[in-house]
């Protein structure tokens, strides 16, 4: 370890990325990325494949050197500190367990590397095995474990030496849905128990929203928005973020008028009133409304709510919610999710009103 730099010892570190860029040949994998990762926060890097999120994680880990920009940890420049000296915990996609070592030996590896005493290693390994619920599996090789168990070993190994940062690269992508949800809970619990800074990469938006204290959304090597899950979900900065985080209805508005914190525009023969969002809304804007914020009724209910006339095309029963597909008079598709208990079973092809409170909709630019 370079002199004067004490890494991996603090309980949780804060990281500051300053104008990080990365090019592979002619391909720009990351463009001018600046991001502050707070002490002890759970930050998720979310984006489709090829968006640059994994490249950024590899730069954080020290496995990839950035082409431009600096990386700071707790006020120190760590851009040129190699991965082995950063000593962050890391959980890889596919777990990357040592196939020739059993559960105990896998978890002990980082402790041995640090030259801890064998009594200390034994105590710590036992503690971690208990914490991730692998008691009784200590002597098994990774190939004898299920996917979820391997995942637990990977987590225990990454956290055993109490790293100041834990990096997780799509750790749940190979697990089935139930197991994935269980492991999400477990990771959340480990985050709370350890207080370590977690940086988590995923392309699964619901996973990102469920786990994180903040979400950073990437596309084409650019950081599009960072914010708390409810902020990015309910107030997305642009259409990509809005659409990537979940289904959303987009209604093109005409005759747009901005008035303080409200906006109003024309859709078909109705005036739609919306909370305003986004700094640079041009004359062409769309009203964006999440399906679960809309309700269907046979008649127009609250006159203060926005309402448009629609016809029901299709209904899909999904258990707790029922999802309706509707068409407006001019043929724009609308999706509405309603709690099944709150619906009275609308007839196919029936004419209904779709309405939503003005504060639930927001404006987005037509493009981008």
CB of 28 to other proteins, least distance (A): 23
Region label for 66, one of left (φ > 0), alpha (ψ between -120 and 50) or beta (otherwise): beta
Does residue 38 interact with other proteins by CB under 8 A? no
Determine, following the binding rule CB under 8 A, whether residue 92 of this chain makes contact with other proteins. yes
For residue 296, the tally of other CB atoms under 10 A from its CB is: 22
Which runs of E-coded beta strand occur in 25-93? Answer: 27-37, 42-46, 68-73, 76-77, 89-91
| Contact code string over 108-127 relative to other proteins, x by CB under 8 A | -xx--xx-------------
- What binding mask, one character per residue, do residues 276-315 give for other proteins by CB under 8 A, x or -? ----------------------------------------
What Rg value do the Cα atoms of the chain yield, rounded? 25
Could you give the CA distance from residue 15 to residue 366 in angstroms, rounded to a whole number?
35
Of 100, 177, 348, 349, the residue at the interface with other proteins (CB under 8 A) is 100
- Determine the interface stretch with other proteins among 14-22, 92-100, 265-273, 314-322 (rule: CB under 8 A): 92-100
The nearer residue to other proteins, 159 or 217, going by C-beta atoms, is 159
**Minimum CB separation from other proteins for residue 346, in Å?**
51
Give the Cα separation of 360 and 247 in Å (integer).
14
Decide if residue 94 touches other proteins (CB under 8 A). Answer: yes
What would the DSSP string read from start to end of 124-167? HHHHHHHHTT-TT-TT--GGGS-HHHHHHHHHHHHHTT--SEEE
156 and 129 in contact (C-beta within 8 Å)? yes
DSSP annotation of 340 reads G
Determine if 172 is a binding residue for other proteins (CB under 8 A): no
Name the residue nearer to other proteins (CB basis): 157 or 239.
157
Q: What angle do CA 27, 28, 33 make, to 5 degrees?
A: 165
- Number of residues located near other proteins, criterion CB under 8 A: 26
Q: Which of residues 51-70 bind other proteins (CB under 8 A)?
A: 61-63
**Distance (Å, whole) CA 361 – CA 278:** 12
Interface characters, 147-166, with other proteins (x: CB under 8 A):
----------x---x-----
Q: Kindly list the residues in this chain that would bind other proteins in the complex (CB under 8 A).
A: 8, 61-63, 83-90, 92-94, 96-100, 109-110, 113-114, 157, 161
């Amino acid at each position: 370890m370079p002199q004067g730099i004490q890494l991996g010892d603090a309980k949780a570190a804060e990281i500051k990325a300053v104008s990080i860029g990365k090019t592979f040949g002619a391909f720009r994998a990351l463009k001018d990325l600046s991001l502050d990762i707070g002490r002890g926060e759970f930050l998720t890097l979310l984006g489709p494949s090829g968006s640059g999120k994994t490249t950024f994680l590899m730069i954080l880990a020290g496995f990839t050197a950035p082409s431009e920009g600096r990386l700071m940890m707790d006020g120190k420049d760590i851009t040129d500190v190699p991965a082995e000296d950063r000593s962050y915990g890391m959980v890889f996609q596919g777990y990357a367990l040592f196939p020739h070592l059993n559960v105990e030996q896998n978890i002990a590896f980082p402790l041995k590397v640090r030259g801890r005493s064998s009594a200390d290693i034994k105590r710590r390994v036992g503690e971690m095995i208990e914490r991730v619920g692998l008691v009784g599996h200590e002597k098994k090789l990774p190939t004898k474990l299920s996917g979820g168990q391997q995942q637990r070993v990977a987590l225990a190994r990454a956290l055993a030496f109490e790293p100041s940062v834990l990096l997780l690269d799509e750790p749940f992508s190979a697990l089935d849905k139930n197991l994935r949800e269980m492991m999400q809970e477990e990771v959340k619990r480990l985050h709370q128990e350890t207080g370590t800074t977690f940086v988590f990469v995923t392309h699964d938006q619901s996973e990102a929203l469920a786990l994180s204290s903040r979400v950073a959304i990437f596309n084409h090597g650019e950081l599009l928005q960072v914010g708390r899950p409810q902020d990015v979900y309910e107030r997305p900065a642009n259409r990509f973020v809005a659409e990537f985080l979940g289904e959303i209805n987009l209604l093109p508005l005409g005759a747009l008028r901005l008035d303080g914190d409200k906006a109003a525009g024309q859709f078909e023969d109705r005036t739609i009133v919306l909370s305003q969002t986004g700094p640079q809304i041009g004359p062409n804007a769309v009203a964006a409304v999440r399906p679960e914020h809309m309700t269907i009724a046979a008649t127009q209910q609250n006159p203060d709510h926005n309402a448009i006339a629609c016809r029901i095309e299709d209904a899909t029963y999904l258990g707790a919610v029922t999802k309706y597909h509707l068409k407006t008079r001019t043929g724009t598709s609308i999706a509405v999710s309603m709690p099944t208990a709150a619906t009275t079973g609308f007839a196919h092809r029936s004419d209904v009103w779709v309405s939503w409170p003005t504060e639930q909709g927001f404006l987005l630019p037509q493009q981008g």
